[in-house]
Amino acid sequence: MLNDVLIEMEKMLHRLIGEDIELTITTSGDLWPVKVDPGQGTTVRIYLPRVLEEPSGLSAPKKRGEHPGGKETVLLVEDEEVVRAMVARILQSKGYTVLTASNGAEALKIAEKHIPGEIHLLLTDVVMPKMGGRELVEKLEKMNPKTKVLYMSGHTDDSIVRHGILEPGIAFMQKPFSPEDLAGKVRQILDSGSP
């Protein structure tokens, strides 16, 4: 986008004065010297401040793959096949056993085949045809009240709460999410004390 702006600026200024131009763009208190050479292009120099030491209270960002996995079993319920396959691969790469279902009814059939306590986490889409994630959780809790739950949706958590689909404070991830964020959130939910 900056390139398009600079090209248009170069054309306009060249038409007006017909010679090389130098100017400075000021943004957020920083100065960006800009040199426009008609026919040669535009040079933008961006000067960033040097950081001498890391601010206190901040730790180094986690590297890819640093989120620990686990050996628990996750029941993944997602109606979009591509998303379901991607999420399953991410969790399997972290060591989890992943059971997949494309809808709530299929998830309940899978859950019925497992003894209580075998499924450690239900990772479910909120909005699905026939049976949404909330209804699925209500039915699954009767079968296995200790299964922890993590909801996911392409809608924001604020919109989900505002429309009364979920209560505030429920474990939730907004799609799209990174593999690292997913792995971290799953581990956080599994390590939490309450279902």
As a whole number of angstroms, the distance between CA 36 and CA 20 comes to 6
Task: Tell me the pLDDT tens digit for each residue of 136-145.
Answer: 999 999 988 8
Task: Provide the β-strand partners of residue 36.
Answer: 21, 42
Task: Tell me the pTM.
Answer: 0.64
Domains present along the chain, CATH in parentheses: 2-44 (no CATH), 73-191 (3.40.50.2300)
Task: Tell me the pLDDT tens digit for each residue of 29-60.
Answer: 445 566 666 677 767 666 555 655 555 544 44
- The DSSP secondary-structure symbol of 62 reads P
> Within the chain, which residues score under 50 in pLDDT?
24-30, 57-61, 65
Query: Which structure tokens are listed for 159?
Result: 């919109």
Our measurement of the distance from residue 88's CA atom to the centroid of its chain's CA atoms, rounded to an integer in Å, reads: 15
Our measurement of the distance from residue 45's CA atom to the centroid of its chain's CA atoms, rounded to an integer in Å, reads: 33
φ, ψ for residue 46, nearest 5 deg: -110, 120
